[in-house]
């Protein structure tokens, strides 16, 4: 089963994604509360996919994405953004993000993103 890392400073958002994934049978799910933790977790567990919030403390999602991609060019990262963050989403895609989803999340959109990554 795929290992999935959820990086978001909002525990509720992590729980929302985790619940959608677990209902679909994805049980190997890890969590990070900021970009620094996301980079550390990525290096530790080498996940198959990362859901990365853009706005987080300590290191934002764009910096974490760039750091992960510089160390792991094949990393699959899906950025999570709020409405109104279009310019950040464009930066994220230019930096190697494979997809993005907009908050609030709908379970079917989360699962489509995972399936689109081949997982």
- In the chain, the domains with their CATH numbers are 3-116 (3.40.50.2300)
Per-block average pLDDT, block size 10, for the chain (119 residues)?
A: 95 95 96 98 98 94 97 96 76 90 88 94
pLDDT number for residue 90: 82
Burial (CB < 10 A; 0-12, 13-18, 19+), residue 73, is exposed
pLDDT number for residue 26: 96
What is the per-residue DSSP string for 59-80?
Answer: S-HHHHHHHHHHH-TT--EEEE
pLDDT number for residue 86: 73
pLDDT number for residue 88: 79
Look at the pTM and tell me if it is higher than 0.85: yes
């Amino acid at each position: 089963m795929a290992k999935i890392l959820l990086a978001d400073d909002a525990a509720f958002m992590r729980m929302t994604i985790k619940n959608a994934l677990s209902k679909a049978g994805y049980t190997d799910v890890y969590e990070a509360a900021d970009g620094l933790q996301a980079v550390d977790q990525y290096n530790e567990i080498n996940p198959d996919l990362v859901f990365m919030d853009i706005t987080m403390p300590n290191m934002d999602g764009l910096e974490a994405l760039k750091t992960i991609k510089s160390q792991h060019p094949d990393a699959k990262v899906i950025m999570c953004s709020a409405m109104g963050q279009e310019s950040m989403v464009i930066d994220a895609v230019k930096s190697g993000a494979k997809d993005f989803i907009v908050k609030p999340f709908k379970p079917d959109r989360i699962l489509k993103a995972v399936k689109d990554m081949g997982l």
